[in-house]
Amino acid sequence: WLKRLKAFPRQHLNTTLTSFKFDRMQNDDRQIVDLYLPRKCSATNRLIPAKEHAAVTLNVAKVDETGTYTGEFFTYHLAGFIRQRGESDACLNRLLHNEGLLTFSK
């Protein structure tokens, strides 16, 4: 392929590279929106790659005193790295305790 690249005239190669535009996805209001939003692990703040199949996303519902769902929820992302080490339950307990959803009192 390198021989074919050298066979191209240099002018043609430069014009095709400069005239190439990156089109971004836009909604009806002309705001730029992306198709992929990267996730961060809630426990370690590491980016979770798109192809990591061991990562999970958990939605924890907020309930009132009677146990009825209030319509609010908290979203947590756990990377496969944390799950593989067996620390996901301890990390989730810490995150829920920080939100006030879990107490450790007897």
Which residues, including other chains, have CB under 8 Å from residue 92's CB and lie 6 or more apart?
43, 58, 76, 78
pLDDT at residue 20 in the model: 47
Contact predicate 62/74, CB 8 Å: yes
**Helix, strand, or coil (residue 6):** helix
DSSP H helix total and E strand total for the chain: 4, 4
Distance, in Å, from the CA atom of 3 to the CA atom of 5, rounded to the nearest integer, reads 5
Task: Tell me which residues of the chain have a pLDDT lower than 70.
Answer: 1-24
Contact predicate 70/62, CB 8 Å: yes
pLDDT at residue 14 in the model: 46
Whole-prediction pTM: 0.65
